[in-house]
């Protein structure tokens, strides 16, 4: 069993990572924003030298996608330089590093699912800052896993599933984008995949999402069907629903690295949604 340090431990993914890694017998130290300022290089080095973890799960991030468009330096400070600090300090204490990245590193113009060897081309500040974090990890660390994920939902924090269920309580009709495709991902399945990953030396970049692909509209329709909620869901285009940050039209993942390295692909997203809805009843 390993000593595992988790950044972003109070976030949507971080809370499930802390719980599941602890249940698996690892010694887990979960740090939130108030416990460690990842943008302060000296603090990060002092922290890792004192704790000397064997594994670092770096899930802390600037995730406000639209806000990042007007707060460019804030996004890069956290996602690029914060990740640089974690990568350099993790390497110094000889800890394996898992860096959580995103589907936003792709521009979404392909009509095929993206595998791990496709060229990246982020559209907005958030994707560019997370991509810069990936580059720092590759430059500064020798034993890393970059785990790109997408459309995350879990019991902790806000997400699309919770938003749809909340809106359905007061709205007779919802308009949902039908021209963006991707892979919903349940935090429990994601954390369990990371748990298996860190036990190996199969380092590299991975696409970790639940299996299967849908649009946001199809995702919403399925949520309401599974909950037995009768509501009018209207498909709309991205242009009809303008946001400050451009979204990739296609962020569907091919999980080639998982397959080739002997890891199980995650269950289908509809199966994951069933289990999530049971969890949050």
Specify if 114 maps to a domain: yes
Distance from the Cα of residue 280 to its chain's centroid: 20
* End-to-end alpha carbon distance in the chain: 33
Domain CATH code at residue 38 = 3.40.50.720
Q: Residue 177: its pLDDT value, please?
A: 97
Task: Map residue 211 onto helix, strand or coil.
Answer: strand
Specify if 278 maps to a domain: no
Specify if 32 maps to a domain: yes
Q: By residue range, what is the domain housing residue 136?
A: 3-159+182-212+252-267
| CA–CA gap between residue 222 and residue 224 (Å, rounded) | 5
DSSP string, 215-270: EHHHHHHHHHHHHT---EEEEE-GGGS--SSPPPSB-PBP-HHHHHTTPPPPPBHH
State the pairing for strand pair 55-58/3-7: parallel
Active site residue 126: yes
Reading the block at residue 264, the tokens are 């199980």
Specify if 98 maps to a domain: yes
Q: What's phi and psi for 215, nearest 5 deg? A: -95, 165
Specify if 113 maps to a domain: yes
How many domains does the chain divide into? 1
The residue ranges of the chain whose pLDDT is under 70 are none
From the list 126, 186, 206, 217, the catalytic residue is 126
Is residue 20 within a helix (H) or strand (E), and if so which, with residue range? Answer: helix 12-23
Q: Residue 281: its pLDDT value, please?
A: 83
pLDDT per position as a tens digit, 35-75 = 999 999 999 999 999 999 999 999 999 999 999 999 999 99
Specify if 240 maps to a domain: no
pLDDT per position as a tens digit, 93-124 = 999 999 999 999 999 999 999 999 999 999 99
Specify if 36 maps to a domain: yes
Residue 212, Ramachandran bin (φ over 0: left; ψ between -120 and 50: alpha; else beta) = left
Specify if 176 maps to a domain: no
């Amino acid at each position: 069993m390993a000593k595992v340090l988790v950044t972003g431990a109070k976030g949507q993914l971080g809370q499930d990572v802390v719980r599941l890694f602890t249940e698996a017998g690892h010694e887990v130290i979960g740090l939130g924003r108030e416990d460690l300022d990842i943008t302060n290089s000296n603090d990060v080095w002092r922290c890792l030298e004192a704790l000397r973890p064997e594994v670092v799960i770096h899930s802390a991030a600037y995730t406000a996608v639209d806000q990042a468009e007007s707060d460019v330096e804030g996004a890069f400070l956290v996602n690029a330089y914060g990740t640089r600090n974690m990568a350099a300090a993790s390497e110094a204490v000889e800890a394996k590093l898992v860096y959580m990245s995103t589907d936003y590193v792709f521009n979404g113009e392909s009509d095929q699912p993206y595998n791990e060897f496709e060229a990246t081309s982020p559209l907005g500040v958030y994707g560019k800052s997370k991509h810069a974090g990936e580059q720092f990890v590759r430059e500064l660390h020798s034993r890393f896993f970059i785990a790109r994920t997408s459309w995350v939902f879990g019991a902790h924090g806000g997400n699309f599933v919770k938003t749809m269920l909340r809106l359905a309580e007061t709205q007779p009709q919802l308009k949902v984008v039908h021209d963006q495709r991707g892979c919903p991902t349940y935090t429990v399945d994601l954390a369990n995949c990371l748990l298996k990953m860190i036990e190996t030396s199969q380092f590299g970049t991975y696409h970790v999402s639940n299996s299967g692909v849908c649009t946001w509209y199809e995702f919403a329709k399925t949520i309401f069907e599974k909950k037995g909620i009768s509501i009018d869901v209207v498909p709309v285009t991205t242009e009809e629903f303008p946001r400050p940050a451009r979204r990739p039209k296609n962020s569907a993942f091919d999980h080639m690295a998982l397959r080739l390295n002997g890891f199980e692909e995650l269950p289908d997203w509809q199966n994951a949604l069933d289990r999530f809805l049971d969890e949050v009843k």
